[in-house]
Amino acid sequence: MALKDITLGQYFPGNTPIHRLDPRTKILLTLYYIVALFTAEFLLTYALMFLALASGIAISKVGAKTILRGMKPVVLIVVITALLNLFYTPGTPILSFWIFTLTVEGIWAAFFMTVRILMLITGTFLLTYTTSPILLTDGIESLLGPLKKVRVPVHELAMMMSIALRFIPTLIEETDKIMSAQKARGADFETGNLFQKARALVPLLVPLFISAFRRADELAVAMECRCYHGGEGRTRMRQLKYTRADWAVIVLGLLGCIAITVMGHFGL
């Protein structure tokens, strides 16, 4: 059941102050954070942001282990980026061999780039770890609300996203089941060259597509039966509401952002 073990929604239910924040606050905060991360250029500003991130993780009780496990897939990208920065940044050479030249600037650039990527990933993980996918889409829909005026189908996009997220686990389970059924008839998904492997996927993909279409059809009928006709005039069961904590966090985040930009000007 290896397929089932993949966590895609990666939401960790909890009831910490971070979990309770309005999803819009968390999305806005993450956006500030990403912008600040790319404007910050110096040790002190990074240290400040790291402090903010670390306290966020501590409050959310997600656990350093989970965060580190989430890093695994990006290790290769980080290493490659670091190596490229290390050897291809022009500046004062320290040592050089063959086509590689190590520079002082390169070491700094590699260090900052690594920190930047790792902090970027950790920060966005904190958002998805503490916000359920449904709240996340609700938040995005609400934040993009003004775009409705220029006829962007915001509600429809958000609904599509919710449905997609909802059906990922179902599709994984279905894939698992069909795979087992075809294996029981001697299908072999593991051995053979690339061409054979691709061919072996046909008995898996055809039933999977058919059942996905069938599900989509059933879902559409079920939604129509309950008079769903798009976003206009639709009310919500869960209303999003900013609390005092949300405003505090938003203001604090904005101030932090301004502080980092100002500090950047003074070369800190």
Partner 1 sequence: MHPILETRKLCHVYSQGTPFEQTALHDVDFTAYAGEYLGIIGHTGSGKSTLIQHLNGLLKPTSGQVLFDGTDIWSDPAVTRQTRFQVGLVFQYPEYQLFEETVYKDISFGPKNMKLDEGEIDRRVRQAAEFVGLTEAQLAKSPFELSGGQKRRVAIAGVIAMEPRVLILDEPTAGLDPVGVDAILGNIRDYHQATGATIIMVSHSMEEVARTVERLVVVNDAVIPFSGTPREVFRHGAELETMGLGVPQMTRVFLRLRQLGVDIDPSVYTVEQARDAILAAKGVG
In the complex, what is the shortest distance from the CB of residue 186 to partner 1, in angstroms, rounded to a whole number?
Answer: 3
DSSP 242-254: --HHHHHHHHHHH
Q: Which helix (H) or strand (E) holds 158?
A: helix 154-184
Nearer to partner 1, 210 or 216 (CB): 210
Q: Nearest distance from residue 135's CB to partner 1, in Å?
A: 22
We find the least distance from the C-beta atom of residue 195 to partner 1, in angstroms, to be 17
Long-range contacts of 203-208 (CB under 8 A, 24+ apart): 203/178, 204/175, 204/178, 204/179, 207/178, 208/171, 208/174, 208/175, 208/178
Tokens of 89: 């940044």
Q: Under DSSP, is residue 100 helix (H, G, I), strand (E, B) or coil?
A: strand
Name the residue nearer to partner 1 (CB basis): 5 or 232: 5
Least distance to partner 1 from the beta carbon of 169, Å? 13
**Cβ nearer to partner 1, comparing 79 with 210:** 210
Minimum CB distance to partner 1 smaller for 62 or for 154 = 62
- Which residues form the interface with partner 1 (CB under 8 A)? 1, 4-5, 177-178, 180-188, 202-203, 206-207, 210-211
Residue 133 carries which side chain, given as an amino acid letter?
Answer: P
> Do strands 93-97 and 100-103 pair parallel, antiparallel, or not at all (unpaired)?
antiparallel
For residues 100 and 209, which CB has a smaller minimum distance to partner 1 in the complex? Answer: 209
Quote the CA–CA distance of 4 and 70 in Å, as a whole number: 17
Smallest gap from Cβ 180 to partner 1, in A, equals 5
